[in-house]
Amino acid sequence: MKDQVRALERLLDVTRELTATVDLGPLLTKIVAVAAELTESEGASILLLDKQTGELRFRAAHGSSASSLADIPVPVEGSIAGTVLNSGNPVVVSDPRKDPRHYEQVGEQIDMDIRSLAAVPMHFKDQNIGVLEAVNKQEGVFTEQDIDMLLTLGSQAAVAVENARLVEELRQAYARLGELDRLKSDFIAIASHELRTPLGLILGYATLLRDQVGEAASHQMDVVVRAALRVKHIIETMLNLRYLETGELTLVCVPFDLCAEIRSACNAYRTLVESQGLTLSLHLPPHPLQICADRDKVRTILDNLLSNAVKFTPQGGHIWVLASGQQHTVKVTIADDGIGIPPEALGRIFERFEQVEHHMTRRHGGMGLGLSIVRGLVELHGGRIWAESEPEKGSHFTFILPIKPPIPAEETSKEE
Ligand code: ADP
């Protein structure tokens, strides 16, 4: 009875450690120590199958010769451990020296006389991933109880090994993702910088030529300039995103009237709004909404939200822009009664490259970067943005900005 309680206590110990650690080495060392203790053996060891070489290798050992076992390969064919691994059944051998399956080289290399041995498979899901062995029972022969104990410890060791393998796979996957992200970011930076110079030349000369050729080809030159401006906008969007991601984007804050900026942004969209048969209404307070913020970036936020409202609202639709001020914040809503966003997509639209329509079947242009930049810029100001929408009914995008910019961390510490 006392022995059973002790055994249970040890097994519980191992289980507790198994759930608390992802550090495989110490856990396996503990498992072999407990295996030797509970089966009253001179030593115990764990051999794991190396899938690349097809051999078994000692991964943890307990007993006087533990350290010399490290890295001794054991063939699967022609060893007791290999037999257990292949068959999935425990094996007890009272005198391994007389057993033809016994792989003598291990005993010889570590200079240990192996008189009795019990080996059980380490089973995980439908695979045997290794073998747990106990050697030289101090008194008598290995019992069924010993085998049960080893089987339980073997399963725990298998779970620990698999956990560690999964953690390692996850770590490698993260590292690969990080590398891909870095490559993508570098690509954006290089491509954008390389495109900027020739594009500057195209825009410069196209504008010059448009002025020189006069009426004759002014329409064609207009098309060239507009297309070049569009490419410029795409490059700026990609660079903005990169600077946001790398934390290189800083705020240049100036005091200005937010209502004036909203009016100016809306005016720039008037022609497009009218040409698409849309109505744009402004609901602004009668007094200025004075804020201190990065004016260009606030304009980028407004432009992106307005451009989306125009893009995703069919002919005859409405767009509303509302602004109001509180004691320390301003709130702006850009709403439309356009196509709306399905609930399952609403949570993702602020992510990079997220678009509700599939890019191959999309009817609307864009790169799916606008909203992620908008969110980045709002957050850079210490504000927040959210969207509410219903398919076929329309969308509301609302952002709140503090009327004063956040104090950067280094300046906060200076103030303290
Ligand atoms: P883009 O407009 O370039 O595709 P955004 O990041 O600005 O990228 O927007 C992401 C996606 O969110 C859009 O592709 C669209 O599916 C959805 N979306 C944004 N604004 C609206 C809106 N006002 N109405 C409906 N859908 C919208």
pLDDT in tens, 93-138: 887 777 777 776 666 666 677 889 999 999 888 889 999 999 999 9
Question: Does residue 415 have a pLDDT over 50?
Answer: no
Ligand 1 atom 1: the closest Cα is on which residue? 368
Question: Which pLDDT belongs to residue 74?
Answer: 87
C-alpha 312/C-alpha 120 separation (Å) is: 65
Query: How confident is residue 411, by pLDDT bands cut at 50, 70 and 90?
Result: low
> What is the whole-number distance in angstroms between the Cα of residue 279 and the centre of ligand 1?
19
The tally of CA atoms less than 13 A away on the side-chain side of residue 94 is 4
With 0-12 CB in 10 A as exposed, 13-18 as middle and 19+ as buried, what is 354? middle
Look at residue 414 and tell me whether its pLDDT is greater than 80.
Answer: no
pLDDT digits over 173-200, tens only? Answer: 999 988 888 887 788 888 878 888 888 8
Residue to mutate (ligand 1; options 269, 276, 302, 311; most atoms within 8 A of CB): 311
Kindly state the tokens that stand for 378.
């709002």
Q: What is the model's pLDDT at position 237?
A: 83
| pLDDT value of residue 96 | 76
What does pLDDT average to over the chain? 87
Tens of pLDDT, residue by residue over 308-361, are 999 999 999 999 999 999 999 999 999 999 999 999 999 899 987 778 876 665
pLDDT: is 72 or 288 the higher one? 288
* Residue 416 binned pLDDT confidence (cut-offs 50, 70, 90): very low
pTM of the model: 0.62
Q: Is 121 in the pocket of ligand 1 (CB under 6 A)?
A: no
Is the shortest distance between the CB of 374 and ligand 1 below 6 Å?
Answer: no
Q: What percent of the chain is modeled with pLDDT above 90?
A: 45
pLDDT (average), residues 281-293:
96
Q: Which band of pLDDT confidence, cut at 50, 70 and 90, is reported for residue 273?
A: very high
Mean pLDDT of 43-51: 91
Q: Could you list the beta-strand ranges (E) of 206-363.
A: 254-257, 279-283, 290-293, 318-325, 329-336
Q: Please tell me the distance from the alpha carbon of residue 77 to that of residue 79, in angstroms, as a whole number.
A: 6
pLDDT at 286 over 50: yes
> Ligand 1: which of 238, 241, 306, 312 to mutate, judged by most atoms within 8 Å of the beta carbon?
312
366 lines ligand 1 (CB under 6 A): yes
Q: Cβ contacts of residue 299 below 8 Å, gap of 6+? A: 261, 264, 265
Residues 222-246 have pLDDT tens digits of 888 888 888 888 888 888 888 888 8
Q: Whose CA is nearest to atom 20 of ligand 1?
A: 308
Ligand 1 centroid to 404 CA: how many Å? 29
